[in-house]
Amino acid sequence: MRVLSYLVVPFCLTPELVISSETLRTIMAELYKALDTPWTTDTHKSCAALVAELVLMLYHGDLMLSPWLRCNPPAEGLVLLLFQGSCLHNGVYAEMRTDITHAWQAAVVALARTHGPLGEPFLELLGRFSSVLAGELLGSLDVAGVDHIAKMTASLLRVGATDSMGATDTTTLARIYDVVMSNVFQSVPSWTHITDLCLYADNLRGHHYITQTFARRAMENKSVTSATSNPVDSLYKYYTVALFSITVLMELCHEKLDNSADDDESETDDEITEDCNHLVSSQSWPLLQSHLLNIHYANVIAHTFTAHFKSTLYYSSLSHKFELLNLRFCLFQEKSGFERDQLIIATQEKAKQEGDLWVKAALSLTDANFTWLSVEVGEIDDSNNTSSPHADQVCKTDEGMSDTDPELPTLTSKGLAVINNCRCQAGAKEESLIVNQLDNVGEAGSIVRVKRCCMCMIKANRTNLLFESHISKLDWSDVQRLSEAARVMADVVNSNPEVLEQEVFDVVHITLTSWLASLEKSKESLLVPAGPLSLPLVTPTMNIRGASIENLVDAYKVAVLGANILQLFATLERFYATAEERKQSFYEEWKDVFAEEVYKSLLSIFIYVADHCDIQQLTCHDLLLLEPLCEAVSLMNPEYFLVHSKQGHERLKLVMKYCCHLVCSPIAPLQLVAYHVIKRLSRGLTSLDTVMVAAEADLANLNLWMLNGALELTQGFVDTLYSDQRLGDCCTVQPHTDAYTFTLAYLLLWDIVLDMCGWAGAQLRYHYAAGLSNKGLMQTLLQTVFCLMPEEILRLLDVKGSKISEVLMSGLNLKYGVSSRSETLQDLACWMYFCSLRRLPAMVRQWWSGEEPRVASLVEKVTTRYMSPLLCSLEMQSVQKENTRTGNMAVKVHPTAREVVAVYHVDEVSLELSIQLPLNHPLGPVVVESSKQMVDTSQWRNWLMQLNVFLTYQNGSLWDGLALWKSNLDKRFEGIEECYICFSVIHGSNFQIPKLCCSTCKKKFHSPCLYKWFSTSNKATCPICRNLF
């Protein structure tokens, strides 16, 4: 009834109000109360339609002459509510959005003309609009919602800047854009911690220097921000507002940006550029400058965040916004009318004033070097400069590294600073540093000078090389200098190893050994204490603990130098991984003299970190050290753990214990290092198991069963997760969830198991398969992979099989620092099924034959279309490869027919065996045929049956089956004397061996040969002893 009574209000609205203004205020206040709740019901819908009509009449033409409407908070409140309703992307008001939008637009036009678009009352009203925008924008963080709100905002700004003639003044438009966006940005919590995190990450990767004040800034205002600011929340809101800001600009430049498809003819590029030119002019540029700088800075932070934190849940959530922000900012630069030089100059000025990532922002806009940032050494006070890309600003010449030999240059901070400048520019351009670029960088000079500088480090002062030093006790200048030295060594080894001599490698070996020993001493400070604004790596279930400034600074020192030491180790291991003749002498010295000590230190550091990293306390700062640490551990030589000694056995048990635990870790680098380490050990573990089987040791102690605990744990989770899943229906698992972590761990463990089955010989593989079958593990794997396969595979939609072929041909390529995707599990599922068919075909065949017809048909179709062609091809390639050492057996391969023909030679006689693989290999039976036989029919039949059984039920490969057949023939003819008439073992016509034996001399003859001898000689005597036969 109340809503119906309001229907009379519009009829009372004339220039001479029929009802009093106070009565109308009361009515509007009641309507405001009715609408100022979540818009979800039909009652709200009716009320909104009434308010839209009321607002349209209130601010229509003549009525605006009434003085009481010039500043009427209740009426303006209704306008704001209508604007808020139009900002809702979905809901009950979607169908009436046009009427609501028309009403508030009419009100804004009227108020702008009444007060003037730049008048104080109207600007205050825009501030209230900004508050509504901020609330709706930050409450709807999805891209579709942001785009819709940006469209409404652009409409608000346009109508606010439209004069009485219907024209839009671009300067006025830029001014009110400035007002609205400034107020919206103020609603975002502090994002300083995001900048600090990216700056810290760049520093660890060698692009910037930081000073001690950086760590202190990370902790400033702790008492204020820690209780009110959520770092995760502010990260998402910051990029929501940044994307919103550039989208509004794009909407203002081209109002039909998102609706061009509705037009009869889309606008040309020239028309779009003309629209942009109207917005960005010499008059409007000062008003837009700060906002464009903020957008560009947010874009640079996004690039930096992407480079360092792809494996985090934040990147998974923000990657789409990062891409859109970059795309729209680039498009705006391309189409806008302002000179790019204006943005470059403004960014460079910001870089000079504030340093930090602003320098990276400037470098990303131009190919110029640091000449625009010419600051003399010592000109800027270090206490006020948290970071500078121009290393001369923060690095003073180190007197402790004075020349001991005038012929040699010293590796001073200043010389390394120049190298760092070169690296910083390369990093800003997202290019790798090439050591050849050092030819013209002053003191460090050419590669030869870099080598000599490295030698000078050894000769100058042992203390400066961290021999027996604790990293956290060093000055920042020492940490920075030695970090850059480590990066220079890594660059030289990685990019120009051909110029290195034994003497230089001695320097690298000695220095690395010393540094890792020092890092082991400092391992207690490796993990960065979590601060109030730290980004947790997993969703926290408790409050992140605070940390003292001193502990934070110490941890930063150890992390900065430690990351570069680990990178040097990884570079050296990769260098030695490729066996070249000229590297052998270097490698032999490394392996015999240095490797064991280095591995010992590295393993000690890893074990300490694994023991002390509290999953709920790890932050993105820790990720920057965990990734290089885990990558370095992954590259350790497996022989260090497999050596036949008591120490080697203990190390193997220790590392397997930790890896089997960490493979279920939600922290990506910890999970990956567990997988990579066991994967690299798998071949050696299989060799140890082969020895155990040959020695008839207890099969329960096979090394494969060390994975039992982890397999059973993950299988229990997987069983629960997919128990209700219908086999053949695609299940998508979202990353950064427990389901994703345990499913990935389960598949990774199975990859190792199947890898060991691949390395095993036929006898050991039989024991592996028997153990897996007894534990019922294989069935769960096959059911799981058919729940995880992509839909296009299960529905046979990928006709050419291009996607899956790429996965199957390349295999697993799990790298550190890569984003987690649902598609990763789908690819892994395909790979696991392929490996199961290849390594344990009999077990897959047994499972398939026991499934219901619907499932069996699906499995056969997927196998036939996507798996069998590649499996047959690999079988043929394997046979061709092994055919080079078969002795008296020759093998011909017919890939098109999926057929292998083996020819066994004895003397001048040959025997052929044909094996053809079915279309659904290995699910279907193979076809084995032979045109000739050299032994008894029953024995020959038994051999063929044995070959069939081996290929069908014993997980044997095609080559293993041929080797078995050849072995039977070799044993059959081994030690058999040839016929003393034809001097052949096999008769040329009946393919029999000599069977008729002389009772006197015991010599054997072929029946046809002896009969022919009797016939031609007319004697029934032995051809050898001449006695009667």
Task: Write out pLDDT tens, residues 744-803.
Answer: 999 999 999 999 999 998 889 989 999 998 888 999 999 999 999 998 888 887 766 677
Q: What is the mean pLDDT of residues 642-663?
A: 92
- What is residue 934's predicted lDDT score, i.e. its pLDDT? 63
1004-1005 vs 996-997, strand pairing mode: antiparallel
Answer yes or no: are the C-beta atoms of 770 and 815 closer than 8 Å: no
Answer yes or no: are the C-beta atoms of 777 and 711 closer than 8 Å: yes
pLDDT range class, residue 479, cuts 50, 70, 90: confident
Q: Do both 999 and 968 map to the same domain?
A: no
pLDDT reading at 402 higher than 70 = no
- The dihedral through the CA atoms of 984, 988, 993, 997 has a sign that is negative
Q: What is the mean pLDDT of residues 538-562?
A: 63
Q: Do both 957 and 985 map to the same domain?
A: no
- Among 53-67, 977-991, 1003-1017, the range of highest mean pLDDT: 1003-1017
Q: Average model confidence (pLDDT) for the chain?
A: 77
pLDDT reading at 178 higher than 80 = yes
- What is residue 171's predicted lDDT score, i.e. its pLDDT? 84
Indicate the burial class of 131 (C-beta count within 10 angstroms; 0-12, 13-18, 19 or more): middle
Closest CA to 387 of 215, 176, 513: 215
φ, ψ of residue 117 in degrees (nearest 5)? -65, -20
* SS3 category, 1002: coil
Distance CA 37, CA 677 (A): 57
DSSP string covering 43-100, please? HHHHHHHHHHHHHHHHTSGGGGGSGGGTT-HHHHHHHHHHHHHHT-SSSTTGGGHHHH
The last residue of a domain, from among 926, 953, 973 = 973
- What is residue 933's predicted lDDT score, i.e. its pLDDT? 65
Q: What is the mean pLDDT of residues 806-824?
A: 87
pLDDT reading at 707 higher than 90 = yes
pLDDT reading at 113 higher than 90 = no
Q: CA–CA distance from 642 to each of 707, 824, 831, 973, 1019 (Å)?
A: 17, 31, 28, 41, 71
Distance CA 682, CA 758 (A): 10
φ, ψ of residue 402 in degrees (nearest 5)? -70, 160
pLDDT reading at 915 higher than 60 = yes
Q: Do both 894 and 911 map to the same domain?
A: yes
Q: Do both 996 and 961 map to the same domain?
A: no
pLDDT range class, residue 847, cuts 50, 70, 90: very high
pLDDT reading at 46 higher than 80 = no
- What is residue 967's predicted lDDT score, i.e. its pLDDT? 78
pLDDT range class, residue 224, cuts 50, 70, 90: very low
Q: Do both 967 and 996 map to the same domain?
A: no
pLDDT range class, residue 730, cuts 50, 70, 90: confident
Distance CA 659, CA 415 (A): 42
- Pick the range with the lowest mean pLDDT from 182-186, 736-740, 744-748: 182-186
Q: Is residue 386 part of a domain?
A: no
- Pick the range with the lowest mean pLDDT from 41-55, 241-255, 792-806: 41-55
Q: Do both 961 and 904 map to the same domain?
A: yes
What CATH number is attached to the domain comprising 955?
3.10.110
pLDDT reading at 837 higher than 60 = yes
Q: CA–CA distance from 276 to each of 249, 281, 335 (Å)?
A: 9, 9, 6
pLDDT range class, residue 884, cuts 50, 70, 90: low
Q: Do both 965 and 982 map to the same domain?
A: no
Answer yes or no: are the C-beta atoms of 516 and 206 closer than 8 Å: no
Q: What is the mean pLDDT of residues 494-500?
A: 69
Query: Which of the 8 DSSP states describes residue 451?
Result: H
pLDDT reading at 35 higher than 80 = no
- Pick the range with the lowest mean pLDDT from 307-316, 352-361, 508-517: 352-361
Q: Which residue has the tokens 């696991």?
A: 832
Closest CA to 193 of 163, 170, 226: 226
Q: Do both 959 and 991 map to the same domain?
A: no
DSSP string covering 178-204, please? HHHHHHHHHTSPP-HHHHHHHHHHHHH
Q: What is the mean pLDDT of residues 862-880?
A: 91
Q: CA–CA distance from 821 to each of 287, 315, 746, 793, 966 (Å)?
A: 41, 11, 16, 18, 48
Q: Do both 934 and 959 map to the same domain?
A: yes
- Pick the range with the lowest mean pLDDT from 220-224, 354-358, 762-766, 887-891: 220-224
Q: Do both 969 and 983 map to the same domain?
A: no
Percent of the chain whose pLDDT exceeds 70: 72
Distance CA 823, CA 818 (A): 13
- What is residue 42's predicted lDDT score, i.e. its pLDDT? 59
Number of domains comprising the chain: 2
- What is residue 23's predicted lDDT score, i.e. its pLDDT? 66
List the domain range (segments joined by +) for residue 985. Answer: 977-1029
Distance CA 988, CA 536 (A): 80
Q: Is residue 1008 part of a domain?
A: yes
Q: Choose between 580 and 1008: higher pLDDT.
A: 1008
Q: What is the pLDDT of residues 116-166, one digit of tens each?
A: 888 888 888 899 999 888 888 887 778 888 999 999 999 999 888 877 666
What CATH number is attached to the domain comprising 1001?
3.30.40.10
- What is residue 685's predicted lDDT score, i.e. its pLDDT? 96
pLDDT reading at 543 higher than 50 = no
Q: Is residue 952 part of a domain?
A: yes
Q: What is the mean pLDDT of residues 161-187?
A: 82
pLDDT reading at 986 higher than 90 = no
Structure tokens at 92: 């009950």
pLDDT reading at 858 higher than 90 = yes
Q: What is the mean pLDDT of residues 491-510?
A: 75
Answer yes or no: are the C-beta atoms of 690 and 760 closer than 8 Å: yes
pLDDT range class, residue 74, cuts 50, 70, 90: confident
- What is residue 19's predicted lDDT score, i.e. its pLDDT? 58
- What is residue 703's predicted lDDT score, i.e. its pLDDT? 94
pLDDT range class, residue 531, cuts 50, 70, 90: low
Indicate the burial class of 756 (C-beta count within 10 angstroms; 0-12, 13-18, 19 or more): buried
Distance CA 474, CA 493 (A): 27
- What is residue 429's predicted lDDT score, i.e. its pLDDT? 42
Q: Is residue 295 part of a domain?
A: no
Distance CA 483, CA 489 (A): 10
Q: What is the pLDDT of residues 567-625, one digit of tens each?
A: 999 999 998 887 566 577 788 888 888 999 999 999 999 999 988 876 667 888 888 89
pLDDT reading at 398 higher than 60 = no
The last residue of a domain, from among 954, 973, 992 = 973
pLDDT reading at 995 higher than 90 = no
Q: Is residue 995 part of a domain?
A: yes
Percent of the chain whose pLDDT exceeds 90: 25
- Pick the range with the lowest mean pLDDT from 472-476, 516-520, 872-876, 1007-1011: 472-476
pLDDT reading at 872 higher than 80 = yes
Q: What is the mean pLDDT of residues 263-271?
A: 43
pLDDT reading at 639 higher than 60 = yes
Q: Is residue 1004 part of a domain?
A: yes
Q: What is the mean pLDDT of residues 855-872?
A: 93
Q: Left (φ > 0), alpha (ψ -120 to 50) or beta: where does 206 sit?
A: left
Q: What is the mean pLDDT of residues 299-320?
A: 89
- What is residue 281's predicted lDDT score, i.e. its pLDDT? 65
- What is residue 396's predicted lDDT score, i.e. its pLDDT? 30
pLDDT reading at 811 higher than 90 = no
- For the CA atoms of 263, 269, 272, 276, the dihedral, rounded to the nearest 10 degrees, stands at 170
Distance CA 961, CA 950 (A): 7
Q: Is residue 893 part of a domain?
A: yes
Q: Is residue 375 part of a domain?
A: no
- What is residue 444's predicted lDDT score, i.e. its pLDDT? 38
Structure tokens at 356: 């930090």
pLDDT reading at 59 higher than 80 = no
pLDDT reading at 381 higher than 50 = no
Q: Do both 906 and 968 map to the same domain?
A: yes
Q: Do both 1022 and 991 map to the same domain?
A: yes
- What is residue 280's predicted lDDT score, i.e. its pLDDT? 63
Q: Where is 270: in which H helix or E strand?
A: helix 269-279
The last residue of a domain, from among 929, 956, 973 = 973
Angle (CA) 453 510 651, round 5°: 150
Answer yes or no: are the C-beta atoms of 736 and 319 closer than 8 Å: no
- What is residue 110's predicted lDDT score, i.e. its pLDDT? 84
Q: Choose between 534 and 183: higher pLDDT.
A: 183
- What is residue 467's predicted lDDT score, i.e. its pLDDT? 62
